[in-house]
Amino acid sequence: PDVLHALAILFAQTGNSAESLTLVRQALELHPQHPAFLNTLGNLYLRAGKINDSIDTFKQAINAAPTAAAAYVNLGNAYRKAGDTDKAIDEYTHAITHNKKHIDAHYNLALCFIEKEAWDLAIHELKAALLYSPKHPAAHGQIAQVFLQVGNYDKAIIHFKKRLQMQ
């Protein structure tokens, strides 16, 4: 099943979602509660726009591995894509509870706070993302935008410059 899963990921990365879906389903037939396989299936559903299927699948992944932060991040991504920012915030927060260094959880949580114009919370999460990944170009770009929004031009300039250096 690990080889099936590896092939499924490879096919997904090369744009062959149909073959990827077939392979990950075969892997799940052998191990129906395997969290990594469920996460891959959920991500395939999400890419295909099957948001409800992705949400259900990520919930299964969480039930299979309740402390795996990645499944909470993925579920948060699905809720965000569905337009439910509050549920996305809850899931990203759960991810951070299980792994305080999960960069994607901090970054995506910050994006939710930006949507809500909760600037201080967005800055806090972007700083956390940058603490654990100092060369995260998107985080530098987002925090620069937030600092610009709140009128902290000196910090905005610093982060815009860092973002430019990473291109």
pLDDT (0 to 100) of residue 167: 81
pLDDT at 17: 86
* pLDDT at position 1: 67
> Tokens 């744009």 belong to which residue?
15
Please, which residues have CB within 8 angstroms of residue 106's CB and are 6 or more apart in sequence? 92, 96, 125, 126, 128, 129, 132
- Does the pLDDT of residue 12 top 90, yes or no? no
Question: Which conformational region is residue 154 in: left (phi greater than 0), alpha (psi within -120 to 50 degrees), or beta?
Answer: alpha
List Cα–Cα distances, 4 to 11, 41, 58, 62, in angstroms. 10, 12, 19, 21
Q: 10 Å Cβ neighbour count for 9?
A: 17
pLDDT digits over 20-74, tens only? 999 999 999 999 999 999 999 999 999 999 999 999 999 999 999 999 999 999 9
More confident site: 17 or 158: 158
